Amino acid sequence: MPGERLTRILAGLAADDRGRTARGLCEVATDVLAVSGAGVMLMAGDEARGSVCNTNAVSAAIEELQYVLGEGPCVDAYQQDRAVLEPDLADPRTPRWLAFTPKALEAGARAVFGFPLRVGAVRLGALNVYQDRSGPLSDEQHADALVMAEVVAHWLLDVQAEARPGALAEELELGAEFYFVVQNAAGVVSVQLGVTVTEAMIALRAHAFSTDRPLRDVARDVVERKLRFG
C-alpha cells in the first residue's frame, strides 16, 4: 500500500525537521530503506549536475564518480527512466560501468541501486542507494525506494518553487554539492593554457585520470595554486 509507505516517509521527514534540509532528505531515505547509504543526484540533458545530498563518504564518492565519469546507476536510471539494480558490483551479472565499478568498490560499495526522480513527465535525476554488502534489495525496500524517489522529486520542485527568481533554492545552495571548485579550476586552467573553459575541463579530467586522483582534489590543488597547467 503506497499510502502507508508514504506516511512512513513523511513522518521521517517531519521528525527533527529533517525535511527542511537536503541532508535530512538523504538520511530519511537511508533510514526508511534500511540501507548503508543514499544520495540524490541532479541531472539535466543526460549530464550529472550535482549531488543534492548524500549520507556518508561512500555515497558521496558514488555521486562524485558518476559526475566525473558520466556513468553509473543514477546516470542509467535517469537516462533509461527505470530502476537500475546492481546487487553485486564485484561480480556483476552484466558487466557495465567499466570505469565506475572498480572505483565504487574501492570506495566501499558492494551493491548499488538507482531510481529515477520524476514528477509526471518531468525528470530531475536519480535517487542513489548503496549497500556495503552484496545482495538484492527486498521487495519491500524496492517499493519503499520508488515512493521515496517520488517524495524526493516533489521535494526538489517544492523547494525550488520558493527560490528567488534566477536563484537556486536555499536548501540546495546550502546543502547540495555542485562541484563548483571544479568550475573555478576550469576558469583558472583556461587562462593558464589559453584555451576555452570546455577544453580546460577536459585537461583537468585528463590530469585526474592519468594521476588516478579524484577530480575535486586536482581542482582544489589548482585553486590553492599548488598545481599549474601550461
Partner 1 sequence: MARETALVRSLVELADTLVSDFDVIELLTGLANRCVSLLGVSAAGVMLASPDNDLRLAASSSEAMRVLELFELQAQEGPCLDAFRTGEPVEHQNLQAGVGPWPRFASGALEAGFRSAFALPLRLRDRTVGALNLFNAGQTPMTDEDLVVARAFADLAAISVVQHWSTIENQLLNEQLMRALDSRVLIEQAKGVIFERAGIGMAEAFDRLRSYARSHNLRLTKVAQDAIDGSLDPAAWGP
Instruction: Cell numbers for 216, please give them.
Output: 575535486
Q: Taking CB under 8 A as the rule, does residue 119 contact partner 1?
A: yes
Q: Taking CB under 8 A as the rule, does residue 82 contact partner 1?
A: no
CA dist 15 and 139 (Å) reads 25
Please state the closest distance from residue 80 (CB atom) to partner 1, in A. 15
Q: Taking CB under 8 A as the rule, does residue 204 contact partner 1?
A: no
DSSP codes of every residue in 191-202:
HHHTS-HHHHHH
CA dist 81 and 100 (Å) reads 20
Count of residues near partner 1 by CB under 8 A: 34
Q: Taking CB under 8 A as the rule, does residue 34 contact partner 1?
A: no
Please state the closest distance from residue 204 (CB atom) to partner 1, in A. 11
Please state the closest distance from residue 214 (CB atom) to partner 1, in A. 18
Q: Taking CB under 8 A as the rule, does residue 124 contact partner 1?
A: yes
Q: Taking CB under 8 A as the rule, does residue 98 contact partner 1?
A: no
Angle between helices 215-223 and 180-193 (to 10 degrees): 60
Stretch that binds partner 1, among 10-18, 53-61, 68-76, 121-129 (CB under 8 A): 121-129
Residue 195 amino acid letter = V
CA-nearest of 156, 118, 111, 168 to 137 is 111
What is the edge-to-edge ordering of all strands in the sheet holding 84-86? Answer: 47-54, 37-44, 122-131, 111-119, 84-86
Please state the closest distance from residue 190 (CB atom) to partner 1, in A. 6
CA dist 100 and 164 (Å) reads 36
Q: Distances from the Cα of 5 to the Cαs of 49, 54, 195, in angstroms?
A: 29, 21, 52
Query: What is the footprint of partner 1 within residues 141-200 (CB under 8 A)?
Result: 156-157, 160-161, 163, 165-169, 172, 178, 180, 183-192, 197
Please state the closest distance from residue 160 (CB atom) to partner 1, in A. 5
Return the number of the residue (44 or 105) whose C-beta is nearest partner 1: 44
Q: Which residues bind partner 1 (CB under 8 A)?
A: 42, 44, 49-50, 119-122, 124, 156-157, 160-161, 163, 165-169, 172, 178, 180, 183-192, 197, 223
